């Protein structure tokens, strides 16, 4: 079987593009700038299941995204997590956090309801993110709604 993005991730995100290892997704929750990296590997649920080379690539891509988001959004803290409790396909959340956000200092999970982006807002944030991520993107997607 070849790599396919989990249906829940397809439903909850917009694809921004892809890096060498990972698909780059924007979570459809306007409360937080939130990017998800998904290694393009079949049947992987844990980082240790990746090869050593892929683990290093994931770390590199994750660090690049975290720094780019922290700088772009002037985040107080970057939360990075690979939970997998609801969606077992390996994916890393990168959430820009602010002392002023509604969940601070708690984790965002289980705090309130997601607020979907408007069409205008998702295009704006996607454009900003693609601009700062473009040096590592090997392809980027045209957003369609």
Pair of tokens at residue 7: 């249906």
Sign of CA dihedral 41, 60, 110, 75: negative
Does residue 145 lie within any of the structural domains? no
pLDDT of residue 141: 65
> What are the residues whose beta carbons fall under 8 Å from the beta carbon of 124, sequence distance 6 or more?
none
**Domain harbouring 128, CATH code:** 3.30.428.10
Q: What is the pLDDT of residues 29-75, one digit of tens each?
A: 999 999 999 999 999 999 999 999 999 999 999 999 999 999 999 99
The b-or-e profile of 54-86 (16+ CB within 10 A means b, else e) is: beebbeebbebbbebbbebbebeebbbeeeeee
pLDDT, tens digit, for every residue of 2-18? Answer: 999 999 999 999 999 99
Q: Which residue has the tokens 């299941």?
A: 49
% of the chain residues with pLDDT over 70: 96
In a domain, 144, yes or no: no
Q: Determine if the pTM surpasses 0.85.
A: yes
For 124, other C-beta atoms within 10 Å of its C-beta total 12
Q: Is residue 53 part of a domain?
A: yes
Residue 36 lies inside a defined structural domain of this protein: yes
Tell me whether residue 1 is in a domain: no
Task: Give how far Cα 33 sits from Cα of 26, 73, 108, Å.
Answer: 8, 8, 12
Residue 125 lies in a domain: yes
Distance, in Å, from the CA atom of 79 to the CA atom of 73, rounded to the nearest integer, reads 13
Residue 143 domain-assigned (yes or no): no
The one-character DSSP state at 68 is H
Name the residue range of residue 108's domain: 7-137
Q: Which of 119, 72, 121, 60 shows the shortest CA–CA distance to 96?
A: 72
Overall number of domains in the chain: 1
**Is residue 2 one of the residues assigned to a domain?**
no
């Amino acid at each position: 079987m070849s790599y396919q993005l989990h249906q829940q991730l397809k439903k909850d995100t917009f694809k921004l593009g892809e890096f060498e290892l990972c698909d780059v997704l924007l979570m459809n929750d306007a409360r937080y700038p939130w990017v998800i990296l998904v290694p393009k590997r079949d049947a992987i649920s844990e980082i240790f299941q990746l090869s050593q080379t892929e683990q290093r690539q994931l770390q590199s891509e994750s660090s690049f995204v975290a720094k780019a988001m922290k700088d772009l959004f002037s985040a107080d803290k970057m939360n990075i997590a690979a939970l997998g409790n609801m969606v077992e396909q390996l994916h890393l959340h990168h959430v820009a956090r602010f002392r002023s956000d509604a969940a601070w200092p708690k984790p965002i999970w289980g705090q309130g309801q997601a607020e979907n982006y408007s069409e205008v807002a998702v295009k704006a944030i996607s454009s900003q993110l693609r601009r700062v991520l473009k040096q590592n993107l090997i392809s980027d997607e045209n957003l369609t709604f």
